[in-house]
Copies of this chain bind each other. A is one copy, B any other.
Amino acid sequence: VDAIAVVDVLRATTMVATLLHHGASAVIAAAEEALARALAAERGALLAGEVGGLPPPGFDLGNSPASLDRAFVAGREVVLFTTNGTRALCAVAEHGRTVAAAAVNLGPCARWLARFERVLVVCAGEARGTSFALDDFAAAALLVGAVVELDPGRAAGDGARLALALPEPLDLIPAAEHASTLRHLGLGADIEAAMAVDTVALVPVVVDHGDGWARLQPTGA
């Protein structure tokens, strides 16, 4: 594999892209909550994320792209811990060039990925990645569609072929079980934020990683 895109559209990878869009200097994705706390304290970084959809006690921010305040995050490094997405980023980072992809930065991610021959799109899913999440597959389908549009001759595996057979992937994001969970938590605005295709003109790339963490910074596309 030459390049990997991790998708957790509700909400971790949307959050990573939006944090960088609002001027955060870097996002450090953490695989465990305790490590996130330690990294934030050690680096004087903001601590953001969720457990069960909501920020744990002592966190500076949740995992809500819709409620981000540019004044609060601009110029700051942010450590982000979430149940599935940041774990997926950390797990994948050691296997190759990795980006955090979402619908908000769809076009830039597709252009970045299309430069590589063998591309893997990883859906973060639910329950630490052991369970299928429709929202992530829908966003991955948008991404696969955009890459194939840029490079129509590209070979596709069975998962990508399924993605390409979907007529309206974007409509499946609010139809996902996790979207219902967010609405019940009063976080419906994050679903709309996550569906705002191509409002963020950057690609969050993993620039450094270690045991349980991956540091992302923006690149253009």
Interface residues of A (CB under 8 A from B): 132-135, 137, 157-159, 161-162, 165-168, 171-172, 175-177
CB distance from A181 to the nearest CB of B (A): 11
Alpha-carbon gap, A137 to B177, bound state (A) = 19
A-B residue pairs in contact (CB < 8 Å), sample of 26: A132-B158, A132-B159, A132-B162, A133-B158, A134-B158, A134-B159, A134-B161, A134-B162, A135-B158, A137-B158, A137-B162, A157-B177, A158-B176, A158-B177, A161-B172, A161-B175, A161-B176, A162-B166, A162-B172, A165-B166, A165-B167, A165-B168, A165-B171, A165-B172, A166-B166, A167-B167
Q: Return the 9 tightest CB-CB contacts between A and B, nearest first.
A: A134-B158, A132-B159, A158-B177, A134-B161, A132-B158, A134-B162, A158-B176, A161-B175, A165-B166
Name the residue in A132, A165, A167 with the highest tally of chain B Cβ atoms < 10 Å from its Cβ.
A165
Copies of this chain, whole number: 2
Q: What B residues does A172 contact at CB under 8 A?
A: 161-162, 165
Name the residue in A133, A158, A162 with the highest tally of chain B Cβ atoms < 10 Å from its Cβ.
A158
Alpha-carbon gap, A134 to B161, bound state (A) = 8
Q: What B residues does A137 contact at CB under 8 A?
A: 158, 162
| A138, closest chain B residue (CB) | B162
Q: What B residues does A162 contact at CB under 8 A?
A: 132, 134, 137, 166, 172
Alpha-carbon gap, A134 to B163, bound state (A) = 10
Having A134-B162, A161-B175, A166-B166, one finds 8 other A-B pairs with CB under 8 Å, namely A132-B159, A133-B158, A137-B162, A161-B172, A162-B172, A165-B166, A165-B168, A167-B167
